Structure 1
Amino acid sequence: MSRTDEVANRLEEFADLLEADGVEYKPNVYRRAAESVREHTRPIEDLAAEGEEAVATIDGVGDAISAKIVEYIDTGEIEELESLREDLPVDIAALTRVEGVGPKTVGTLFEELGVTSLDDLAAAAEAGRIREVKGFGPKTEQNVRENVAFAREAQARERLGDARPLAEDALRYLRGLNAVDAVEIAGSIRRWRDTTGDVDVLVASAEGPEVIDAFVEWPAATDTIEAGDSKASVRAGGMRVDLRVVVSDEFGAALQYFTGSKDHNVALRNRAIARDLKMNEYGVFDVSGVDDPDAGQRVGERVAGGTEASMYDALGLPAIPPELREGTGEIEAAAAGELPDLVAVEAVCGDLHTHTEWSDGGHSIAEMVTAAAARGDDYYAVTDHATGPGMVGSVGLTDDDLREQAAAVDHARGDLGDITLLHGVETNIDAEGDLSTGDDLLETLDVVVASPHAALGQDRETATDRLVRAVEHPSVDILGHPTGRLITEREGLTPDIERVATAAADAGTALEINADPARLDLRGELVRVAVDVGATVVVDTDAHTPGALECVRYGVHTARRGWCVAGDLLNARGVEGLRSFLH
């Protein structure tokens, strides 16, 4: 597996430690470099092998950073980063997961109170010591108390966007083994849940020990946790990856068992029992003539197990898509013939929320649109950040900037071929629900995305009122990342989504499923609420680089977790259908 993410993570840690140490400007340079490294098409180790000049060809990576990257690939560490770690021996990743605690806060609390870990931070808050630090106060201390628990939970989970690529690398490696008959991801990753505890992979093979021996030699594995004849666990990319090998006749049974949630599987087993069947990870067995069905795992005549479809068919059900296997009515819907025809990635016709170098993106309008056209999109919207609450420094565009950008977008249209280019904005929703862009300008734009970026700790009622006011604004087309959450970092708003979605449906405003793997906002459970009240949803990538356009799949699978069909999705419509909705 490429070491690209590993290097990018080190650069991000570098940035955080520099900021915690009070260094200005350089942290953002390292963050931009990390993003560019992550999005580059070639593995970073291949470029490093060619030398510092090759690494420096990456956008945003100068001579100093390229030297550090080569140093890391060659030696496994960066001397300057190690020095920063010694000067600031803090768990920067864990501490900054606490909402409102950024690198500068970490640096101050280390300097004043010796805080190095979540335990230290929680203890300082409970003892009332944080409020005594200059620049802090009771509100900051209370915020820490309320959010440490979330940070602890987040520390034990990995984002889908980090775990899924690792799982897919394991699949590619295992599929190349002659002894492997079939291989698939299992567990919550296969259900496309937004976080996971570990990575589960299932293999069908008659040569279990041979597969296990090869698995522990997987290039991405950094160490072996355990290994037997049919099971093994390794550490890769900082995550635990578990492999289980079964015979082909039981592969479908095992895949079903290790994919479904506990509630889903219990409900299926109860359905089996009612039919004189026994269902487990080895298959479905007819136990109608068996005196003691619990005598063993493979008691009775096997009637299913080779495929997942056979497992469901044995219970009189159609195969249930993995995204729905959460025990929330999917079995009843399947039994009644009412499972939705879930939307597919291929149904998406375009992207309505993206960024360019005009705000905080890393690429030009032409570069972003060219990448979208290469993906086969029919339309593409440039929606750079407006100034306003939550925007730092010069990131956001003023109304005059947006008028100037409109001319640039219009100029770009002349060289695009068949793709339709729209000009819009991501305007900011303030704490009361007002927008940061002038109404007269909003009326002239093709598409308006309104998003909350600040005041994300509001109570439920205030947050709901705020978002309802935004979706009812006559110029707002899309409510962007409605809760403002960042997975494993901050919970974001907790509004009454049913009320917000009902208002959006009435106003003709779409609710966004932000496909950025750090957001996936709305999450699947809330998407289902929105769809149930008749709201339109839209999957947007919020891409800041061309590579991020590929994250659309995370958004679509989140939509599927919300029981979405193509008719629910705004950007599953063609250009004319889109224009009809927008206007």
Structure 2
Amino acid sequence: MTTNAELAGRFEEFADLLEADDVEYKPRAYRRAAESIRAHPTPIAGHVEDGDREEIKNIDHVGDAIASKIVEYVETGAIEELEELRAELPIDIADITRIEGVGPKTAGKLYRELGIETLDDLEEAAEAGEIQEIKGFGPKTEENIRENLEFARTIGQRQLLGEARPLADDVLAYLESIDAVERCEVAGSIRRWRETIGDVDVLASSEAAEDVIDAFVGWDSVDDEIESGPAKASVRVGEIRVDLRVVVPDEFGSALQYFTGSKDHNVTLRNYAIDRGMKLNEYGAFDVSEIDDPDSGQRVGERVAGETEEGMYEALGLEWIPPELREDRGEIDAAANGDLPDLLTRDDIRGDLHCHTEWSDGNTSIDAMIEAAEQRGYDYLGIADHAEGPGVVADMGLTDTEIIEQVEAIREVAAATDVEVLAGIEANLDADGGIGLGEPVIEELDVIVASPHSGLGQDAETATNRLVAAIENPAVDVLGHPSGRLLNERSGLEFDATALGEAAAEHGTALEVNSNPRRLDLWGSAVQAAIEAGAPISVNTDAHQPSTLEYMRWGVHTARRGWAEPADVINTWELEELREFLH
């Protein structure tokens, strides 16, 4: 079945190619539609198959024209207009725009000037010194392209967590409906909530493995059977590979622990077990203290655990370690000493401090965002539309005068709601860390999120100094998506996360975990370094429409990967405490 992510990808490609062709207005419409499609809570292809086309047109920013293209793609696997555009501009647009600083317009110009269609073409032109000869380019641009080619070639090989995990949830729901399945769970990097994953790995337990495999490969959502055997199968659903392994019920816990990983965590855990006369593998935990040759077989020794994952850790005298922590960053010692963190949960979140409306590049009104926050039971919501500045598309950022006007509009709407609405702004960091807001504007705002949107090619030392300068600015409450990265699209800034954490702790500035699945910025190890330095964290969605407030799921798990506890996260605090922090 065509997934929402696949559909969204087609319309994002549409937008990029139109922009490369210097078409105005339409690209933005397609991008807004793509965002709504990607965030839609149910499979849109299902509406097509049910003949419910009116439901498709009810999706935000999906009118008749886009709805007809959705139907065309689901039914035929192609959109004729997109195919014509591809023929007119035969550019590998997704690959080329992964180069930092090369957007769709630049890709279009490179095609028209030099006939560049692929990354190989781009590399050849850069090595020949041809790019710097184009008007508006230069040696620095050409060097940047050369330096980022390897990154662009490798990042497209993994799926975004936010696209793969919903499919994994569907797989689990389907497996749970099969009578022969006793238990099932995702494994691998998706269970550890890594920001990108290779394949969706799923584990099931059953006494009738072949029946489970037959039902799995026969699932209506499967587009292609890659391979199958008595206890394993691999299929493709949309653009994502799903691997299922079926084990006997008595070995489900040990298999789950083993196949969840990470490799580094498992190696350290196995060595920990060996030091205690134990042996761990996918079949269980075995006492081999009386065995002369513990490596003589997989099931050598007395099996003491394996039915449950908790039992595998208990057999070693350890607390159960949450999957998000299994990256070999000190979690085994913490489990041994009873020092594992009491991790943040979704229920701990009281509000969101970074979301957008149609005042800048959001897709809906202030009222609609507040209503959505109220439906989620939030105590407070921060409206933080874009201010004008470097890296913001022309006419999408607010001037100081417009910011004041929006503050007044927010105050008026907020008076009629139980949700406390914080009037904020997302300011844009210049190359030195300045935010470009006038003092009268700063005085009117409740929360200022300052984020880098340009100059993302700076070296690590310069980038760290730039971000620290923003943190030290007394007007800045939250440093938004600190690296500016877009997963599978651009790498963003490199920086010293400990230095940021120390500065944030000293100056009372929160570091954001941006929950947009294309960002997840900060990421797990950076969150951990910041928290260890004493920094406060803010988990925000950067939502551009009501449905994307659901992105909080990805941010919470990313913060958990960084060992975040509720007290570390400012938007778990009571409103009075939060306001004191912000002021």
Q: TM-score, normalised by structure 1?
A: 0.97
1:530 equivalenced with 2:533 (yes/no) = no
Which deviates further from its counterpart, 422-431 or 115-124? 115-124
Distance in 2, Cα, partners of 1:362 & 1:449: 19
CA contact (8 A) 1:52 1:63 kept: no
Distance in 2, Cα, partners of 1:43 & 1:254: 31
User: Residue 202 of structure 2 aligns to which amino acid in structure 1?
Assistant: V
Helix, strand or coil: the match of 1:221? coil
The corresponding residue for 2:5 is 5
User: Residue 402 of structure 1 aligns to which amino acid in structure 2?
Assistant: I
Helix, strand or coil: the match of 1:64? helix
CA contact (8 A) 1:427 1:451 kept: yes
Distance in 2, Cα, partners of 1:46 & 1:274: 54
Distance in 1, Cα, partners of 2:163 & 2:122: 27
Which deviates further from its counterpart, 474-483 or 85-94? 85-94
User: Residue 388 of structure 1 aligns to which amino acid in structure 2?
Assistant: G
Distance in 2, Cα, partners of 1:199 & 1:57: 31
Distance in 1, Cα, partners of 2:388 & 2:441: 14
User: Residue 531 of structure 1 aligns to which amino acid in structure 2?
Assistant: I
User: Residue 246 of structure 2 aligns to which amino acid in structure 1?
Assistant: V
Flag structure 1 segments of 5+ consecutive residues without an equivalent.
none
1:478-530 alpha-carbon deviations (Å, 9 max, x no partner): 11111111112111111222222212211111111111111111111111111
The alpha-carbon deviation at position 396 of structure 1 amounts to: 0.7
Helix, strand or coil: the match of 2:476? coil
The alpha-carbon deviation at position 406 of structure 1 amounts to: 1.4
Q: TM-score, normalised by structure 2?
A: 0.97
The corresponding residue for 1:77 is 78
The alpha-carbon deviation at position 150 of structure 1 amounts to: 1.1
1:372-419 alpha-carbon deviations (Å, 9 max, x no partner): 111111111111111111111111111111111111111112321x32
CA contact (8 A) 1:471 1:504 kept: yes
1:37-80 alpha-carbon deviations (Å, 9 max, x no partner): 33345542354454665533333223322222222223222111
Matches within 5 A, 1:329-408: 329-408=330-409
Distance in 2, Cα, partners of 1:496 & 1:75: 49
Helix, strand or coil: the match of 2:491? coil
1:303-341 alpha-carbon deviations (Å, 9 max, x no partner): 100111100011111101111111111111111111111
CA change 1:2–1:79 in 2 (3 A) is: closer
User: Residue 380 of structure 2 aligns to which amino acid in structure 1?
Assistant: Y
Matches within 5 A, 1:220-369: 220-369=221-370
User: Residue 218 of structure 1 aligns to which amino acid in structure 2?
Assistant: W
1:479 equivalenced with 2:475 (yes/no) = no
The corresponding residue for 2:440 is 440
Which deviates further from its counterpart, 172-181 or 77-86? 77-86
The corresponding residue for 1:563 is 563
The alpha-carbon deviation at position 110 of structure 1 amounts to: 2.8
Distance in 1, Cα, partners of 2:293 & 2:433: 64
The corresponding residue for 1:165 is 166
Matches within 5 A, 1:193-232: 193-232=194-233
User: Residue 179 of structure 1 aligns to which amino acid in structure 2?
Assistant: A
The corresponding residue for 2:60 is 59
The corresponding residue for 1:578 is 578
CA contact (8 A) 1:39 1:545 kept: no
Flag structure 2 segments of 5+ consecutive residues without an equivalent.
none
The alpha-carbon deviation at position 35 of structure 1 amounts to: 1.7
Identity of counterpart residues, as a percentage? 60
The alpha-carbon deviation at position 445 of structure 1 amounts to: 1.1
CA contact (8 A) 2:407 2:444 kept: no
Q: What is the aligned residue count?
A: 582
User: Residue 491 of structure 2 aligns to which amino acid in structure 1?
Assistant: E
Matches within 5 A, 1:129-168: 129-168=130-169
The alpha-carbon deviation at position 471 of structure 1 amounts to: 1.3
Helix, strand or coil: the match of 1:352? strand
Helix, strand or coil: the match of 1:294? helix
CA contact (8 A) 2:383 2:423 kept: yes
CA contact (8 A) 2:2 2:238 kept: no
Helix, strand or coil: the match of 1:200? strand
CA contact (8 A) 2:201 2:243 kept: yes
The corresponding residue for 2:410 is 409
The RMSD of aligned alpha carbons is 1.6
1:68 equivalenced with 2:76 (yes/no) = no
Helix, strand or coil: the match of 2:386? coil
Distance in 1, Cα, partners of 2:549 & 2:486: 18
Matches within 5 A, 1:469-508: 469-508=469-508
CA contact (8 A) 1:51 1:70 kept: no
Distance in 1, Cα, partners of 2:64 & 2:369: 26
Distance in 2, Cα, partners of 1:51 & 1:179: 34
Distance in 2, Cα, partners of 1:228 & 1:487: 34
Matches within 5 A, 1:412-431: 412-416=413-417, 418-431=418-431
The alpha-carbon deviation at position 177 of structure 1 amounts to: 0.7
Distance in 1, Cα, partners of 2:3 & 2:9: 10
The corresponding residue for 1:123 is 124
The alpha-carbon deviation at position 128 of structure 1 amounts to: 2.2
Which deviates further from its counterpart, 72-81 or 421-430? 72-81
User: Residue 122 of structure 1 aligns to which amino acid in structure 2?
Assistant: E
User: Residue 455 of structure 2 aligns to which amino acid in structure 1?
Assistant: A
User: Residue 569 of structure 1 aligns to which amino acid in structure 2?
Assistant: V
CA change 1:213–1:527 in 2 (3 A) is: same
Matches within 5 A, 1:88-127: 88-127=89-128
CA contact (8 A) 2:404 2:444 kept: no
Distance in 1, Cα, partners of 2:52 & 2:245: 40
User: Residue 331 of structure 2 aligns to which amino acid in structure 1?
Assistant: E
